[in-house]
Amino acid sequence: MYLAIAVTVSVFAAYGTALLLLLNVVLLLFLLLRKTNLSILFFIVLSSIFFYIYSVISLPVLLEEDETELSITWSEDVKIDGQSLKGFAKTSTGETVYAMYRFSSQEEKIQFLALDLPIWQFTVKGSFQPIAIPSHAYAFQMEKYLRMYGASGVFQVEKIIVANENRRFLSRLLLKRKHVKAHITKTFPEELIPEAEALLIGDRSGMSEEMSAMYRKLGITHLFAISGLHVGLLTWMIREVLLRLTVRRETVDVCLIFFLPLYAILAGGAPSVWRAVLVTVLILVMMYSRISIRVDHLLALSAIAFILMKPYIVFQPGFQLSYLAAFSLILSMKILSRTSSKIKLSFLVTMITQLALYPVLLLHFYELSLSSFIVNLVYVPLYAMIILPINLILLVLTAIAMPIAEILFFFYTPFRLFVHEMTMMISEIPFQLWVPGKPSVFGILVAVIGILAFFVMYECGKSLIVCLPCILLPALLIHIEPYTEGDLRVTYVDVGQGDSIVIELPFRRAIYVIDTGGTVPFGETDWKTPERKFEVGRQIVVPYLKGRGITKVDTLIISHPHLDHMGSAHELVEEVRVKEIHISPNSAVADEMEKLVRIAKEQKIPIVEKKDGDGWQEKDVGFYYVGPQSDQYVGNDSSLALYMKTKSVSFLFTGDMEEAAENEFLSKYRDADFGEVILKAGHHGSKTSSTAPFIEKLQPILAIIQAGRNNRYNHPHQEVLETFETYGVPALVTAEHGSITVHVQKDGWTVSTAK
């Protein structure tokens, strides 16, 4: 096991900083204190050096060629959605790239849908694209995603020159997975298909976002990732059938040794699958050869073999969670062996894995299911003893005896729908998720030390009550960490072509969100329209809030009901508690507000109309609405404009105020002193806003423009940028810098960006 730790650290050091190798020095000192055999220490040192050099040599180099030809083979997990085909592909030279292609016609899309892509090699012409900067630190990061899969870059295919059928064995095997998926789609009832695909071939693409969110909330997502439970059950079933058919035990074991790696490929090759398969294969080899090796050593060997094949795998959350869970259970065998009660044993297994994994879960997902400790007591046996075996049996029956399968479906489908309804009811219970945000390095370190102390004390016979502070105190530290920040933060979230601003007062006294961004549809839905719509709220704004540990918004301010400002407001309200919503006068009747108004009514969130002259005070920070001047809603010029005054700098959030509204503002506030003001430029930098008289009056010390990359409106307009330059106003654009955060201290302010 110590060898596996040293190897993993070496790979992290190769991809990150060589200073991480000092952790291996600490490990060696620890082993010296334990008087470990010098030959073992020497072997660990050699392995550490070897894997560091091997990983450095294996590092994918990000390619940035303007135009080139490649021969690529797309993986079986490639996605065809709307007009786009995208996914990882292997080049003829063995490199991995993330290849994208846009169909020129509906006919071409239909042709590709009919193709078995893994068995086709395409000669293509295109170019490597610059890696897009992430919206913010908690959003999807393409560069990190490429690193997780050892990819050399993002390749935009402009033209397909020729396609040749690839008859390699691996390609044919991958094709079988697609055939199994097609068989499930054809023979299983529609409501059972997503679960069957996940449980049988490791394909969770059919699960809706709502379903996935429900399982995450309950902490049972792991049940749908093929792992030791699935591999163990499949191995046992095959073994029992063949033995009862009087096949020799040795022959059965040899068959399984060759079959299980093929199953791992068919099941999608996730880290949890390979971990379970490799360990099972090693156990079968031991049984066949009558060699005795400890299970933890087998697990460590499988991890080392995995890393040798794919060093970058250590960055995948699935690898980290899978091996950490397995190691934690093996190292806790003394604790588990104390009880003969199946219920208590199930609770201990859940407790051990959840506690061991929680720092990693927070690091990647910023939240933790508190209900999983109880829910898993029911759902693990339910899936292990009923749902998974029935799905395996149904897969076989639908292939060889469809009439019998239909009888089983008749009884199983209502049962499964009942379980689904019960799961939905349980998921609706409030306060099941702990969302402390992404912990700091110090927080992670304290959590790990606390977990180790808990297990050592519990194994030594201390009671659970005595051991609990080792877990609760680090968790409390992680939870209160955001509340110790004394800066006021204003973050202009990069939501593409739209607005969303998050205001965090010092020590989390209050959280205000101005607009949420949204997707503006263009034209009627056709073959180019993606089936899965990108949700700005759930995929950009909510991850930012959760990454910062924000679960409650005091006031959601909707500047005006245009989709690029509030199209995702209902998503935020569904995911985060909102105490109050402010809107401009008479804007609630707009069609775009219908969904938000309905959900707010269901959740009993008051919607309050505000206009010029309204405001409130939060200690030394003042909030004042400075528009609109009229009760009549007329669109952009009815934007709810907010002025925020702090002791060191002020902010003006203008929504989409255009020239008419700016003139009304100047007329009323001609003699007002706004101090040093940071301006959120109106209407994404359109030439209809940020007029010269408005900028001359305000004399902002900084202008921030929220606009999308390569947007169809060419925002920000050159005239606006020239106006800012004329008056000496520096400007930052989210399209260039990603999310922009202004940190306000008592004696000044600073700016940071996602870039």
Which value, in Å, is the radius of gyration of the alpha carbons in the chain? 29
Give the count of alpha carbons within 13 A of 377, CB side only: 11
Taking the C-alpha atoms of residue 522 and residue 735, their distance in angstroms, rounded to an integer, is 21
Whether 156 has a pLDDT exceeding 80, the answer reads yes
Mean pLDDT value across residues 102-128: 89
- Angle at which helix 342-365 crosses helix 441-459, to 10 degrees, equals 170
Q: What is the pLDDT of residue 45?
A: 84
The mean pLDDT value of the chain amounts to 89
505 versus 381: the higher-pLDDT residue is 505
Give mean pLDDT, residues 181-204: 89
Residue 165 pLDDT level (bands cut at 50, 70, 90): confident
Q: Report domain 68-167's class.
A: mainly beta
Q: Is the pLDDT of residue 684 over 90?
A: yes
| Region 366-379 average pLDDT | 88
pLDDT of residue 530: 84
The predicted structure's pLDDT at residue 641: 95
φ, ψ for residue 85, nearest 5 deg? -120, 125
The CA distance from 392 to 230, in Å, is 10
Residues of the chain with CATH 3.60.15.10: 485-523+535-753
Q: Is 485-523+535-753 in CATH node 3.20.20.70?
A: no
Tens-digit pLDDT profile for residues 523-573: 677 888 888 788 999 999 999 999 999 999 999 999 999 999 999 999 999
* pLDDT for the residue 339: 79
For residue 749, the SS3 value is strand
202 within 8 A of 273, measured Cβ to Cβ: yes
Token pair recorded at residue 573: 């309200």
Q: How confident is the model at residue 553, as a pLDDT?
A: 97
d(CA 443, CA 445): 5
* Average pLDDT over every residue of 47-66: 81
Residue 486 pLDDT: 92
Among 186-190, 207-211, 314-318, which is the least confidently predicted range?
Answer: 207-211
- Chain centre distance of CA 551: 17
Mean pLDDT confidence for 247-252: 85
In single-letter form, the type of residue at position 55 comes to S
Q: Evaluate if residue 27 carries a pLDDT over 80.
A: no
pLDDT score of 237 more than 90 = no
User: Could you tell me the pLDDT band of residue 725, with boundaries at 50, 70 and 90?
Assistant: very high
Q: 584: pLDDT confidence band, cut at 50, 70 and 90? A: very high
- Does position 290 have pLDDT exceeding 80, yes or no? no
In this prediction, residue 411 has a pLDDT band, given cuts at 50, 70 and 90, of: very high
Give the pLDDT band of residue 730 (cuts 50, 70, 90): very high
Closest C-alpha among 131, 132, 136, 130 to residue 753: 136
For the stretch 422-442, pLDDT in tens is 999 998 888 889 999 999 989
Residues of the chain with CATH 2.40.50: 68-167
3-state secondary structure string across 577-608: EECCEEECCCCCCCHHHHHHHHHHHHCCCCEE
Query: What is the per-residue pLDDT for 402?
Result: 93
For residue 743, give the nearest of 556, 479, 504, 547 by alpha carbon. Answer: 504
Q: For residue 753, what pLDDT band results from cuts at 50, 70 and 90?
A: very high
Residues 6+ apart with CB under 8 A from 210: none
Highest mean pLDDT (candidates 70-79, 223-232, 336-345): 70-79
Residue type, 272: S
d(CA 409, CA 234): 21
Q: Note the residue count of the chain.
A: 755
- For 301, the enclosing helix (H) or strand (E) is helix 295-309
Q: Could you give the percent of the chain with pLDDT greater than 70?
A: 99
Cis peptide before 60, with omega less than 30 degrees from 0?
Answer: no
Longest dimension (CA), the chain: 97
Residue 216: pLDDT over 80: yes
User: Do residues 582 and 676 make contact, with C-beta atoms less than 8 angstroms apart?
Assistant: no
Which H or E run contains 357? Answer: helix 342-365
- At 270 the pLDDT is 74
pLDDT at 666: 94
For the record, the structure tokens of 116 come out as: 């078995």
Here the tokens at position 363 are 């690091």
pLDDT of 175 higher than 90: no
Closest CA to 155 of 99, 212, 87: 99
What b/e string do you get for 113-144 counting C-beta neighbours within 10 Å, with b at 16 or more? eeeebbbbbbebebbbeebebbbbbbbebbee
pLDDT confidence of residue 669: 92
Q: Looking at 67-208, which runs of residues are DSSP E strands?
A: 68-74, 79-81, 84-91, 96-102, 120-129, 151-165
Whether the pLDDT of residue 446 is over 90: the answer is yes
For residue 296, name the pLDDT band (cuts at 50, 70, 90).
confident
Give me the mean pLDDT over the 97-102 stretch: 94
Task: Decide if 721 contacts 703 (C-beta within 8 A).
Answer: no
Instruction: Say which residue, 331 or 292, is predicted with more confidence.
Output: 331
What are the pLDDT digits (tens) for 331-365?
Answer: 888 888 887 777 788 788 888 888 999 999 999 99
Model confidence at 228, pLDDT cuts 50, 70, 90, reads: confident
Q: Which two tokens stand for residue 171?
A: 């390609």
Q: Is the confidence at residue 10, as pLDDT, over 80?
A: yes
pLDDT number for residue 671: 86
- Whole-number Å distance between alpha carbons of 79 and 117: 11
User: What integer pLDDT is reported at residue 247 of this predicted model?
Assistant: 85
Single-letter amino acid, residue 719: E
- Region 117-122: mean pLDDT is 85
**C-alpha distance across the termini of the chain, in Å:** 39
Q: Decide: 371 and 423 in contact? Cβ < 8 Å.
A: no
Residue 251: pLDDT band with limits 50, 70, 90: confident
Mean predicted confidence (pLDDT) in 120-133: 90
Q: What tens digit of pLDDT does each residue of 610-625 get?
A: 999 999 999 999 999 9
